[in-house]
Amino acid sequence: MARVVDGAELDGRKGVVAAASAEADEHLIREAEKIAVALGRMFPGLCEVVLHDLRTPEHAIRVIENNLSGREVGDSVTELGLARIEDPGYPSVIQNYPNQFPDGRPAKSTSIGIKNAAGEYIAALCLNLDVSVLSPMTLALSNLVATDTEHREQSLETLRDRNARALRQAVEELAAERGATPRSLSREDKKALVRQLHQDGYFDSRDAAQAIADLLGVSRATVYNYAK
């Protein structure tokens, strides 16, 4: 005969399951803490790494390593964290988006959502790169590669050919301008990139469409559709 489970016993079982789930979530976040600390200490003075505990949005910051924003452990969650709390379908990775520190310094950020076994966001690992630190280096390189201003209005010659190496370089440079790799570009960015390549004359080369397709991770037919 089947045993009757009374309400108290059922509640007890639910409590045990809930406790086990909470313990598993906490273990996952403690492991993420190690990653946050290691990443921050790898890039001192350059990249802030923050681990948000999305279970407690009012006091979300669990770890802040290489602090560049002036926030503290226990501070509240950001807008991205709230978006993930409200929508489990929100993208798990938002990469290389423009950001800004409180003092106005520009930053490049990446946010990685962490889900538990139930598919719920419980944490977010965020990296904020201080790009202002790179400005002096950028200026120095700009001066190094600068050409004579006397002939800037007209091109005296074209040194680029349309071989595979030049095509790959052009694709990678255009993707980098959008803060991504060729294959990670959105559909609209891939379309814009293909049209730029077509405008620049890269389709004059035989097999160029297939080479572009391979670089972008799409079909040859898709490349021709993008180029229209």
What pLDDT score does 146 carry? 64
List Cβ neighbours of 188 (8 Å cut-off, separation of 6 or more): none
The distance from CA 28 to its chain's CA centroid, rounded to whole angstroms, is: 21
Q: Kindly state the percentage of the chain with pLDDT values over 90.
A: 47
Global model pTM greater than 0.85 = no
Mean pLDDT for 99-104 is: 87
Structure-block tokens of residue 128? 């904020």
For tokens 């310094």, the residue is 105
Mind listing the pLDDT tens digit for each residue in 198-224? 888 888 777 788 889 988 989 989 998
Q: What distance in Å separates the CA atoms of residue 184 and residue 187, rounded to the nearest whole number? A: 9
Of residues 94, 40, 42, the one with CA closest to residue 68: 40
The whole-angstrom separation of Cα 206 and Cα 33 is 51
Question: Rounded mean pLDDT of the chain?
Answer: 83
Lowest average pLDDT, out of 1-5, 41-45, 215-219, goes to 1-5
How far apart CA 208 and CA 228 sit, in angstroms, is: 15
* 127 has a pLDDT exceeding 80: yes
Extract long-range pairs of 85-91: CB within 8 Å, 24+ residues apart: 85/54, 85/57, 85/121, 88/115, 88/119, 88/120, 88/121, 90/121
| Cα distances (Å, whole numbers) of residue 26 to 143, 155, 201 | 51, 61, 55
In the predicted structure, residue 95 carries a pLDDT above the cut 90: yes
DSSP code for 60: -
Q: Token digits for 224?
A: 């021709």
H-state helical runs in 177-207: 187-199
Question: Which pLDDT belongs to residue 75?
Answer: 93
User: What are the φ/ψ torsions at residue 119 (nearest 5 degrees)?
Assistant: 80, 20
Determine the pLDDT at residue 167. Answer: 84
pLDDT for the residue numbered 162? 47
